[in-house]
Amino acid sequence: MWPDVTRVRDELDRHHRTLKQRRGWLRKLLRPLPRRANVSRYPVIKWFAVMARRLPFLWSFRAQHVLPALYLGCVLSLLPVYGIQFGLALVFALLVRGNITVLMGLQLITNPFTAVPAYIVTYKVGMYLITITGIGHGMSLWGTRINALVIGGVVLGLVLAMLIHVVWLLGAWEVQRIRARVHYLREALAAEAAGLPPPPKP
């Protein structure tokens, strides 16, 4: 049985608007971050701009390049390396062949407004883990405190990365579902115009 053509077209337009809005939101999110076209504007990385432009994996949004950048970026952003994390992000991106836009973008988690609260939380989590496991006690009080910052940063960074990963997977699944629906609606309209039976629903 044929669906109502007007309703099909309305639904198709709605899905197109949704995908367009998602792309617009993504462009706004990426605008302030390093990209191949503007890499020379950023501290540290601008010194390697020519080399960076020639390495396609730095700009690839395939899962094999995004996921290492996501997990390393989240951990690095919460480690006590504020002020040098952008340089470290570039090194890690080269070592793991990760997306540099994602890795550097995540370093904005710790900024002049959030660094102190973030380190307080990571310190408390690290000290709690040291207390209950006995792992990480340093030779001195300061050694233990540094270990607490590192342990807390690694643990919370991994948790944050896993949460972002889940959200990303859900978003990717939703986009795939919308695209499959759009493909079906286009086929339905084309079949209706040609006088053919409607295609099977996905």
pLDDT tens, residue by residue, 101-127? 899 889 989 989 999 999 999 999 999
In a domain, 198, yes or no: no
pTM score, whole prediction: 0.78
In a domain, 55, yes or no: yes
Residue 145 has pLDDT above 50, yes or no: yes
Neighbours of 47 (CB within 10 A): 13
In a domain, 132, yes or no: yes
In a domain, 118, yes or no: yes
In a domain, 121, yes or no: yes
Tell me what pLDDT residue 2 has.
Answer: 47
Residue 75 has pLDDT above 80, yes or no: yes
List alpha helices for the chain, DSSP H.
5-30, 49-53, 63-78, 85-96, 100-106, 115-133, 141-193
pLDDT tens, residue by residue, 21-45? 777 776 776 777 777 767 767 666 7
Domain count, the chain: 1
Tell me what pLDDT residue 3 has.
Answer: 53
Domain that holds residue 145: 5-193
In a domain, 10, yes or no: yes
